[in-house]
Amino acid sequence: MENESQHTSAMPRDFTFQLLKQITNDFSEDNRIGVGGYGLVYKGTLDSGEVIAVKKLYYKHPGLDSDKQFQNECTNLMRVRHQNIVRLVGYCHEIRHKCVEHNGKYVFAMVEDRALCFEYLEGGSLDKHLSGHQGYSKLADMSSQEFIQLVHEKWEKALQTTVLSHTSHGVKKCIEIALRCVEADRVKRPTIAEVVDELSKIDTAIIDELNEIDTARSSPIEQVTNLRSNQAFNPCVNSGMFSKGGGKDGKMISSCSSQAIRASSDSVLLSVDIKCQILPSASVKIFSYDNLRLATRKFRANTLLGEGGFGRVYKGWIDENTLSPCKPGTGIIVAVKRLSQESLQGHQEWLAAEVNYLGHLSHPNLVKLFGYCLEDEHQLLVYEFIPRGSLDNHLYRRGPCQPLSWNLRMKVALGAAKALAYLHCAETNIIFRDFGSSHILLDRDYTAKLAGFGLAVNGPVGEESHLTTRVVGTHGYAAPEYIATGHLTQKCDIYCFGVLLLEMLSGLRVLDPNRPAGEQHLVDCARPYLEHKHKIRCVIDANLGGIYSFSAAQKIAALALECVCLDPKKRPTMDAAVSVLEGVQEDEEPEAAEHQESGKKVTASASRKNGKSRWNIFGGGRS
């Protein structure tokens, strides 16, 4: 096989630190595109017009051998170039002296400025384009052949109605290669050269088959008939690649991924590009980028509220009536989510759903969207400010958040249930798809506000029983049937709600690798205790201090078990869940758990050091 790598005499440039400051706008937050273990990465444009990624290394970051990292990366990338290895454009290593105060005296300290400059890759890292969940099935018990067959069958089923169905044999070959690479016996693992050779054969075979299919196509688009009239397809939500346009206000923000249309004659799938617009809404304002910069005090660090997968969230101030920017401490506080430039395609799908749903829905338990901004590369969303943050922070005691009392947990659970029930009603018919404690925000009065509609979809209509979609969502919450088949129904949301109830009941994380095998998923961990009334106390969160209503806890446990039932048909509706929770609200006042059962004292304690949790039961049971 031809070796495509080559040594080169073209050395990377030696940049000055001053130049790097200039092209990255003094390493501004606007230009920041990523963060790594050794430094921050910024986007910069050279005089030639070439866009580069500048990794500014930390100043002697504690615990990191950054000198060695800098030297290794520099020398290795200088030594070899290849089309599949990121190109080193240049580097910077300067030593300067800076006057600083030390022990009451001014001294000159030596400061090292180090940076590595790479070609800028718009697609970002591979992990941004992958999705999935940590599995909790018993796949580990399968033989290699059983595993290959299972995955192959799932791919065949997923591809059977598309032009890619002819390539499913390549999937099987890839699985076989992957399993050989992770062989416990390293002698049995293939060399990289062997892997490349086998993958090249698969690639060649797929290209040949696709060429044959293209040649065989003869039906013009006018002959496509028999389009299913009841097909559930919302072009404004299920959007794919985006292309900005549609005028200065940026209302048109996307071009939907191709909609599959089946030709009745030969079952060949043709595609039609459908333009998609953000739907107009009187309740949603289109903000200018300059106004949002003013509202957030130019996105200063002291206005930063948090950071997530899609970008950063800043605190801002706007006038309650005009929604114009105003001085801090006046008007109303808003949360401005500024989407980062990484994984742009994923942002656009998420953004379309977020605006189109929240812009047209109104409910006391849904977060309010004030508006959005789409100007050039700037994409921002403006929400009401929810002061107490997300529910998971309270359950897992992150930052200053205090543990929630039993009554507050029941209030939050009821509010979240009402939000889902509203989405599931016939008039709305929305599947949230990404329900979990991180998407439930708490206002000043601990009213639950559901947020994060980026993965929401319209539910099935007409005679359709389900949607078939790519499996997405938050690890640990997805319903087993959704993971296994990609079939999505409202019952999948109800399973997520059951997992949430278990979280609130136990205070334990949904997934915890530190728990024993078979108990790492909260559903598997809690189910044996919830199925027996006398064991329910074993899973009650120790942070409650024994102050809760045992009769109410029994009802919540029973509801949670119904919601996470493996048979989706046996799960309750969200209206039924709301009725149960409303009944719990009217239940007796909470009292110490040890007084609920005469003659036996049962207490629960949880140790969460390093994320571990364990239950100690005295007076019978498991320890």
The CATH number covering residue 524 comes to: 1.10.510.10
190 compared with 282, residue with greater pLDDT: 190
231 compared with 486, residue with greater pLDDT: 486
Task: Evaluate if residue 133 carries a pLDDT over 70.
Answer: no
Which residue bears the tokens 């329910």? 536
Is 18 inside any structural domain? yes
160 compared with 94, residue with greater pLDDT: 94
Structure tokens of 432?
A: 């949230």
CA distance 103 to 89: 41
Query: Structure pTM?
Result: 0.55
Note whether 358 and 399 are same-domain residues.
no
Note whether 179 and 277 are same-domain residues.
no
What is the per-residue pLDDT for 526?
A: 92
Structure tokens of 425?
A: 């009603």
What is the per-residue pLDDT for 52?
A: 93
DSSP class of residue 6 equals B
Note whether 462 and 576 are same-domain residues.
yes
Is 435 inside any structural domain? yes
| Phi, psi for residue 119 in degrees, rounded to 5 | -60, 145
Residues that constitute the known binding site for ATP: 337
What is the per-residue pLDDT for 242?
A: 29
What is the per-residue pLDDT for 155?
A: 66
Note whether 463 and 505 are same-domain residues.
yes
Task: Evaluate if residue 34 carries a pLDDT over 50.
Answer: yes
What is the per-residue pLDDT for 578?
A: 97
What DSSP assignment string belongs to 129-183?
Answer: G-------SSGGGS-HHHHHHHHHHHHHHHHTTSGGGGGHHHHHHHHHHHHHHT-
Note whether 465 and 566 are same-domain residues.
yes
621 closest CA partner among 554, 558, 536? 536
DSSP class of residue 279 equals P
Asked if 90 and 117 touch (Cβ cutoff 8 Å), the reply is yes
Asked if 379 and 462 touch (Cβ cutoff 8 Å), the reply is no
Mean pLDDT of all residues in 218-225: 31
Q: Which helix (H) or strand (E) holds 66?
A: helix 66-79
Mean pLDDT of all residues in 510-517: 87
Coil/strand/helix, residue 551: helix
| Phi, psi for residue 162 in degrees, rounded to 5 | -125, 165
Residues that constitute the known binding site: 337
Helix, strand, coil % (nearest 5) of the chain? 35, 20, 45
Task: Evaluate if residue 203 carries a pLDDT over 90.
Answer: no
Distances (CA, A) of 152 to 17, 34, 155, 204, 471: 52, 36, 5, 20, 17
Mean pLDDT of all residues in 434-444: 94
Is 131 inside any structural domain? no
pLDDT tier, 74 (very low <50, low <70, confident <90, very high otherwise): confident
Is 136 inside any structural domain? no
Number of domains in the chain: 4
Pick from 385, 411, 442: which residue ends a domain? Answer: 385
DSSP class of residue 301 equals G
Note whether 375 and 408 are same-domain residues.
no
Is 617 inside any structural domain? no
Structure tokens of 109?
A: 């300290």
Is 2 inside any structural domain? no
Is 234 inside any structural domain? no
Burial of 5 (0-12, 13-18, 19+ CB in 10 A): exposed
349: CB partners within 8 A, 6+ apart = 238, 239, 240, 242, 454
pLDDT in tens, 524-581: 999 989 888 888 998 999 989 899 999 999 999 999 999 999 999 999 999 999 999 9
Of all residues in the chain, the percent with pLDDT exceeding 90 is 33
Pick from 351, 385, 419: which residue ends a domain? Answer: 385
Structure tokens of 148?
A: 């290959």
Is 232 inside any structural domain? no
CATH code of the domain containing 114: 3.30.200.20
Pick from 356, 385, 414: which residue ends a domain? Answer: 385
What is the per-residue pLDDT for 200?
A: 77
What is the per-residue pLDDT for 171?
A: 74
What is the per-residue pLDDT for 263?
A: 29
pLDDT tier, 132 (very low <50, low <70, confident <90, very high otherwise): low
507 closest CA partner among 589, 608, 587, 602? 608
Q: What average pLDDT does the chain have?
A: 75
294 closest CA partner among 276, 318, 330? 318
582 compared with 75, residue with greater pLDDT: 582
Note whether 101 and 26 are same-domain residues.
yes
Strand partners, 375: 378
Task: Evaluate if residue 11 carries a pLDDT over 70.
Answer: yes
What is the per-residue pLDDT for 329?
A: 87
DSSP class of residue 378 equals E
Residue type, 588: E
What is the per-residue pLDDT for 509?
A: 92
pLDDT tier, 612 (very low <50, low <70, confident <90, very high otherwise): very low
| β pairing state of 304-308 and 332-339 | unpaired
Note whether 446 and 310 are same-domain residues.
no
pLDDT in tens, 315-338: 999 999 899 999 998 999 999 999
What is the per-residue pLDDT for 540?
A: 93
Coil/strand/helix, residue 619: coil
Asked if 323 and 316 touch (Cβ cutoff 8 Å), the reply is no
| Phi, psi for residue 385 in degrees, rounded to 5 | -85, 125
Of all residues in the chain, the percent with pLDDT exceeding 70 is 69
CA distance 233 to 227: 12
Q: Which helix (H) or strand (E) holds 56?
A: strand 51-57
Note whether 434 and 563 are same-domain residues.
yes
Note whether 342 and 293 are same-domain residues.
yes
pLDDT tier, 222 (very low <50, low <70, confident <90, very high otherwise): very low
Mean pLDDT of all residues in 357-376: 92
CA distance 127 to 236: 25
Asked if 455 and 232 touch (Cβ cutoff 8 Å), the reply is no
Mean pLDDT of all residues in 349-362: 85
CA distance 368 to 143: 50
30 closest CA partner among 256, 322, 268, 293? 293
Task: Evaluate if residue 149 carries a pLDDT over 50.
Answer: yes
Note whether 153 and 258 are same-domain residues.
no
Task: Evaluate if residue 220 carries a pLDDT over 70.
Answer: no
295: CB partners within 8 A, 6+ apart = 316, 317, 318, 325, 326, 334, 336
Q: Which residues are catalytic?
A: 434
Coil/strand/helix, residue 113: strand
Mean pLDDT of all residues in 375-398: 89
What is the per-residue pLDDT for 128?
A: 67
Note whether 363 and 269 are same-domain residues.
yes
pLDDT in tens, 254-312: 333 323 222 222 322 222 222 234 565 667 899 999 999 999 999 998 999 988 667 88
Q: Which domain holds residue 67?
A: 13-121
